[in-house]
Amino acid sequence: MSAEAARFLNSFAQALATMALYADGHPARERVVNASYDQLRLLQELDRKPQFSFLGLDVIYGQVALRELKEWDWGQRLANAGVQRLEFAESVQRDEYEGFLDEVLARLTLGAIDSATRSAERVSTIKFGAVGVKGSEGVLRPEDILPTATIRYSLGEEAETIRWLHDEVQSRGELPLIEAESVVRSLAVAMHGDRDIVIPLLQLKEFDQYTTTHSLNVCVLAMALAEFIGLGTKDVRAFGVAGLLHDLGKVRIPKDVLTKPGKLTDEEWVIMRRHPVDGAKIIYESDRQLDLASAVAYEHHIMINGGGYPTRHFQRDCHKASKLVHICDVYDALRTKRPYREAWEAERVLAQIESGAGPDFDAELAQSFIQMMRQWERRVAFVDDKTPLPHMAPQGSAAPPAATADAAPSGTVSALATPGSPA
Ligand SMILES: [Fe+2]
Ligand SMILES: [Fe+2]
């Protein structure tokens, strides 16, 4: 019977993972929901009311730990998202099961911040929630649950998708929107697979991968900041898409200009400064629904005092998302080692943002960003696109992205991407 239970839980995790990647109504989603529901019905032929507890690394079925799932990390993710106990009634319908999966996915991907305080939920025939769900035997103590899970993500697939997406835009001029949105969903899952939020920032390995790495990082930072200032899920995701696509116009910049290790000539600057307009056009022409992402691509180098580029004929306020992405953009650019300068330490970048608050950056958002990075410093995880087990930043410091970052002599930063330069 435990083999059936393990099979069901595997199908359950498979369904959640797939649902995180595909929008409602996608056939891939339907397939995994059906498969998992069938597994549940098979299990229920043997055990009419199956019960599960997710306790640290252990997955308990009824009263028995499932050895088959020793390496299964979903138990911990579920527990961290406030789903520590799960009970099915006899008569679970397929639609109810799908609704339940949606709810669990929302918990995994959304406000993990307050998941610990959430009360138990009821989906008619499926009970789930924190330990000690009413009516269940053997209440589990919260302290039995491991405090913090190390995120087990590399961002390999996401990075690969973004590389492919940039190639597509470059060669065909069209933006594959579904893939862009699945990357954002997948990053949201990576950020909330733990009890608290995790900010996974990709480390740059090769200089020519800068745009990919930078797009993913700005997306993650934009979602984190949007969440930090209390925006709802829909806005958080929309800001994420905008962050991901803000530099899309760079696909039109010749590679030798884009990766030039040194100061740009005036002509090269003219080319470089076209990317906001080009990006906005590509996005808008691909999908009119993406007007927010298009606006952000256009406005992300415009400063509060009207400086930056593109130059506008009359002064008007930029969208909040543009102001927010602008800050995340500069943060990631300065934190990354470039051919012409070393990476800056986190604190130095935050000081730079603080000093630019008002004229360059929206003062309130800049303050929120600084507050967020200090508060969530230990939640920043530096990951790469290969290593499956990233490490968390050491306590009390946001680790520099490059070993040489701390030792960067001040003389090497003359060509800095100061706010307003192409980040
Ligand atoms: Fe840019
Ligand atoms: Fe940028």
The structural architecture, per CATH, of the domain 156-413 is Orthogonal Bundle (1.10)
Range(s) of the chain covered by CATH 1.10.3210.10: 156-413
Alpha carbon distance 329, 246 (integer Å): 9
Kindly identify the ligand whose nearest atom is closest to the C-alpha of 300: 1
The distance of Cα 258 from the centroid of its chain, to the nearest Å, equals 26
Where does 317-381 have alpha helices with state H? 320-335, 346-356, 363-375
Kindly identify the ligand whose nearest atom is closest to the C-alpha of 309: 1
Q: What distance in angstroms lies between residue 215's CA and the mean position of ligand 2's atoms?
A: 7
Kindly identify the ligand whose nearest atom is closest to the C-alpha of 279: 1
Using a CB cutoff of 5 Å, list residues around ligand 1, an ion. Answer: 247
Kindly identify the ligand whose nearest atom is closest to the C-alpha of 333: 2
Cis peptide preceding 310, ω within 30 of 0: yes
- Among 58-62, 76-80, 232-236, 280-284, name the one with the lowest average pLDDT: 76-80
Tokens coding 368:
């929120």
> Average pLDDT of 205-219?
90
Q: What distance in angstroms lies between residue 132's CA and the mean position of ligand 2's atoms?
A: 47
Residue 398 has pLDDT above 70, yes or no: no
Residue 403 has pLDDT above 50, yes or no: no
- Crossing angle (nearest 10°) for helices 320-335 and 346-356: 140
pLDDT tens-place string over residues 279-333: 999 999 998 889 999 999 999 999 999 899 998 877 789 999 999 999 999 999 9
Q: What distance in angstroms lies between residue 369's CA and the mean position of ligand 2's atoms?
A: 17
Q: What distance in angstroms lies between residue 170's CA and the mean position of ligand 1's atoms?
A: 17
Residue 226 has pLDDT above 80, yes or no: yes
Q: What distance in angstroms lies between residue 241's CA and the mean position of ligand 1's atoms?
A: 15
Alpha carbon distance 218, 243 (integer Å): 5
In what helix (H) or strand (E) does residue 269 lie, and over which residues does it extend?
helix 266-272
pLDDT band of residue 191 (cuts 50, 70, 90) is confident
Q: Which residue has the tokens 């990354």?
A: 336
Alpha carbon distance 326, 243 (integer Å): 9
Q: Which residue has the tokens 């962050």?
A: 243
Kindly identify the ligand whose nearest atom is closest to the C-alpha of 280: 1
Q: What distance in angstroms lies between residue 277's CA and the mean position of ligand 1's atoms?
A: 10
Q: Are 99 and 78 in contact (CB under 8 A)?
A: no
Alpha carbon distance 341, 323 (integer Å): 25
Tokens coding 103:
């709810």
SS3 302: strand
CB neighbourhood size of 164 (10 A)? 13
Q: Pick from 191, 249, 235, 252: which is nearest to 216 by CA? A: 191
- pLDDT at site 262: 85
More confident residue, 242 or 20: 242
Backbone angles phi, psi at 136, to 5 degrees: -100, 150
Q: What distance in angstroms lies between residue 211's CA and the mean position of ligand 1's atoms?
A: 10
Tokens coding 210:
């800068």
Q: Pick from 404, 407, 409, 379: which is nearest to 392 by CA? A: 379
Q: What distance in angstroms lies between residue 300's CA and the mean position of ligand 1's atoms?
A: 6
Please name every residue paired with 129 in a beta bridge, in sequence order, or none if there are none: 85
> Average pLDDT of 388-402?
34
Please name every residue paired with 357 in a beta bridge, in sequence order, or none if there are none: 361
Q: What distance in angstroms lies between residue 247's CA and the mean position of ligand 1's atoms?
A: 5
Please name every residue paired with 30 in a beta bridge, in sequence order, or none if there are none: none
Using only the alpha carbons of the chain, give its radius of gyration: 23
Q: Which residue has the tokens 């051919």?
A: 339
Kindly identify the ligand whose nearest atom is closest to the C-alpha of 212: 2
**E runs forming strands in 176-272:** 199-202
Cα→Cα distances 163→191, 222, 348, Å: 21, 20, 30
Q: For the purposes of burial, counting CB atoms within 10 Å of the CB of 194, is it exposed (0-12), middle (13-18) or buried (19 or more)? A: buried
Alpha carbon distance 266, 258 (integer Å): 14
Q: What distance in angstroms lies between residue 204's CA and the mean position of ligand 2's atoms?
A: 14
Q: What distance in angstroms lies between residue 297's CA and the mean position of ligand 1's atoms?
A: 7
Q: What distance in angstroms lies between residue 420's CA and the mean position of ligand 2's atoms?
A: 10
pLDDT band of residue 340 (cuts 50, 70, 90) is confident
Q: Are 107 and 91 in contact (CB under 8 A)?
A: no
SS3 36: helix
Q: What distance in angstroms lies between residue 4's CA and the mean position of ligand 1's atoms?
A: 52
Kindly identify the ligand whose nearest atom is closest to the C-alpha of 216: 2
Kindly identify the ligand whose nearest atom is closest to the C-alpha of 422: 1
pLDDT tens-place string over residues 74-124: 887 887 777 778 889 888 999 989 988 988 888 777 643 333 333 344 456
Q: What distance in angstroms lies between residue 423's CA and the mean position of ligand 1's atoms?
A: 5
Q: What distance in angstroms lies between residue 406's CA and the mean position of ligand 1's atoms?
A: 25
Q: What distance in angstroms lies between residue 193's CA and the mean position of ligand 1's atoms?
A: 30
CB neighbourhood size of 208 (10 A)? 12
Q: What distance in angstroms lies between residue 263's CA and the mean position of ligand 1's atoms?
A: 16
Q: What distance in angstroms lies between residue 14's CA and the mean position of ligand 1's atoms?
A: 37
